[in-house]
Amino acid sequence: MPQTIIVSNRLPTKVQRTDDSLSFQPSEGGLATGLGSIYRQEGNMWVGWPGLFVQDEAEEQYVTEQLSADSMAPVFLTEAEIRDFYEGFSNSTLWPTFHYFTQFATYEQTHWDAYVAVNEKFCAAVLAHAGPEDTIWVHDYQLLLLPEMLRRARPEATIGFFLHIPFPSYELIRVLPWRSELLRGMLGADLIGFHTFGYMRHFLSAVSQVLGLPAQNGQIEVEQRAVRVDAFPMGIDYDRYAAAADSDAARQHEAAYREVLRDTRVILSIDRLDYTKGIAQRLRAFELLLARYPEWREQVSLIMLVVPSRDQVAQYASLKEEIDELVGRINAQFRTITWTPIHYFYRSLPLEELASLYRLAEVALVTPMRDGMNLVAKEFIASKADQRGVLILSERAGAARELSDALIINPTDTNQLTEAMHDALVMPEEEQRQRMTAMQALVRRYNVFSWTRLFLNQLTYTKMKQQTLATE
Ligand code: G6P
């Protein structure tokens, strides 16, 4: 019976070195939850990088054994590959370009060479497990070349590809020296999925303009193979977030924070450290709120959680400094003995504590400059059992296509963002409930499980149709 193999740069388990032992932490990420019930089924597996540099063969063998007991096959990266493939081409070329930050993008031949080599390494790892007719589902921008590499080795395989970040306009794609190779790499798949129709349209336009391959009804013909392209907005495990927010642990944390905050109202901001997230712009808008509406001083605090990420990449390190400086300045200017304007945490928090912050917050600020989807917006919604709370959402997050009942803003417009915070704080409860109820219905229904099902069903259907056409 054909098997399903999931491939992503990161495995759903993070292996970490603490002193001289290794710890295995399951990832809380959306993808891990959504695909958890699939890759653990008999014969299926997940291929990816365990997130650490192994010191010797004995350690490599130990990690491999531990992970394979839970249906995972690790791909180990050398220090040079972590530098040139992960920090280099993936996160200093593709990430900034696909998020419209070309000013941060670098174009290094050595990074490209490492990107090709690591995609080949992933290909070899998949082939070691995949039979000729298996289903292989490849994820995200670190592995754009992999579908085509797999196709060459396994012409009959069913291959899906999903991009978790935005696919930008052709004008951005054309800047990349390796644009043709990257697009051809993706086209090795039978089905290519994006979060929104906008990203999908950009992809079709890039394929037509760069490769001269026209699309018809969401289908591109590549070497007599029909490649299907479609939008699949990703969701979350709604019940898991709703249950976490309703748990005793979350209530206890909330009560403890409430004691310190007293009746101060809370605006919440949660992100990975990233220049795409608009964190500095958000801080400036909060500063303007306190300056423009003095009545909110001592009444409202911003709780801001920034989760450390990619700190070896220069732009991330300098963003961290900018945030530290801004928070310091705003707090110094406005704070009183009994009130702190911004409570800033630079770390990751366990689910129950996150859930307690979602409970505590009346307003969530999800205001990225660009974001493929943004699941924090959906987690906040799932956590609001009493249907109170206001989501302020950037029009440039994929989630804005679905969550039209949020207060939708342009994140570069500081004025608009400040006014949205004010509007959210004075919004009548009835209006909050109406908006939240509508968004909850949508987020509950289009969850991560229906997303997985939809993609895999469409992939099977696409393959079946191809085979029928081939035999006609
Ligand atoms: C985004 C990307 C993922 C990535 C995650 C964390 O969500 O789409 O592919 O895994 O960020 O980034 P990291 O570099 O730590 O894997």
Q: ipTM of the predicted structure?
A: 0.99
Q: Which residue has the tokens 């689910």?
A: 351
Q: Is the CB of 27 under 6 A from ligand 1?
A: no
Centre of ligand 1 from the C-alpha of residue 159, in Å: 21
Atom of ligand 1 nearest to the CA of 164: 8
Cβ–ligand 1 contact at 164 (below 6 Å): yes
165 C-beta closer than 6 A to ligand 1: yes
Q: Is the pLDDT of residue 83 over 80?
A: yes
CB neighbours of residue 387 within 10 Å: 15
Residues 381-386, mean pLDDT to the nearest whole number: 98
CA-closest residue to ligand 1 atom 14: 310
Q: How many other CB atoms are there within 10 angstroms of residue 68's CB atom? A: 12
Which of 8, 10, 374 is the pocket-test mutation for ligand 1 (most atoms within 8 Å of CB)?
10
What is the model's pLDDT at position 251?
Answer: 98
**For residues 247-268, average pLDDT:** 97
State how far the alpha carbon of 190 is from the alpha carbons of 148, 178, 226, 423, 470, in Å. Answer: 10, 22, 7, 46, 14
Question: Does the beta carbon of 315 lie inside 6 Å of ligand 1?
Answer: no
Q: Select from 86, 95, 272, 348 the residue to mutate for testing ligand 1; criterion: most ligand atoms less than 8 Å from CB.
A: 272
Locate the ligand 1 atom nearest the alpha carbon of residue 91 and give its number: 14
According to the model, what pLDDT value does residue 67 have? 97
Q: Are 225 and 188 contacting, i.e. CB atoms less than 8 angstroms apart?
A: no
Q: Which atom of ligand 1 has the smallest separation from the CA of 372?
A: 8
Whether residue 469 is predicted with pLDDT greater than 80 in this model: the reply is no
Q: What is the Å distance from ligand 1's center to 140 Cα?
A: 9
Q: Tell me the CA distances in angstroms from 151 to 147, 185, 366, 380, one per residue in order.
A: 6, 9, 38, 40
Does 140 contact ligand 1 (Cβ within 6 A)? yes
Position in ligand 1 atom list of the atom nearest CA 165: 8
Ligand 1 neighbourhood includes 310 CB (under 6 angstroms): yes
User: Is the CB of residue 309 below 6 angstroms from any atom belonging to ligand 1?
Assistant: yes
90, 98, 165, 270: which to mutate for ligand 1, most atoms within 8 A of CB? 165
Ligand 1 within 6 A of 10 CB? yes
Distance CA 430, CA 98 (A): 39
User: Do the strands 300-307 and 342-346 form a parallel or antiparallel pair, or are they unpaired?
Assistant: parallel
Instruction: Give the per-residue pLDDT at 471.
Output: 76
What is the band of 34 on the pLDDT scale with cuts at 50, 70, 90? confident
The answer to whether the CB of 359 falls within 8 A of the CB of 353 is no
Cα 277 to middle of ligand 1, angstroms: 13
d(CA 129, CA 74): 12
Question: Residue 216's beta-bridge partner residues?
Answer: 219
* pLDDT tens digits, one per residue of 190-207: 999 999 999 999 999 999
Looking at residue 33, its pLDDT comes to: 81
pLDDT digits (tens, 9 = 90+) for 321-365: 999 999 999 999 999 999 999 999 999 999 999 999 999 999 999
Calculate mean pLDDT across residues 149-178.
97
Cβ of 279 below 6 Å from ligand 1: no
**pLDDT-based confidence at 261, cuts 50/70/90?**
very high
Identify which has the larger pLDDT, 259 or 37. 259
Distance 392 CA to ligand 1 centre (A): 23
Is residue 4 within 8 A of residue 36, CB to CB? The reply is no
Q: If pLDDT is split at 50, 70 and 90, which confidence band does 164 have?
A: very high
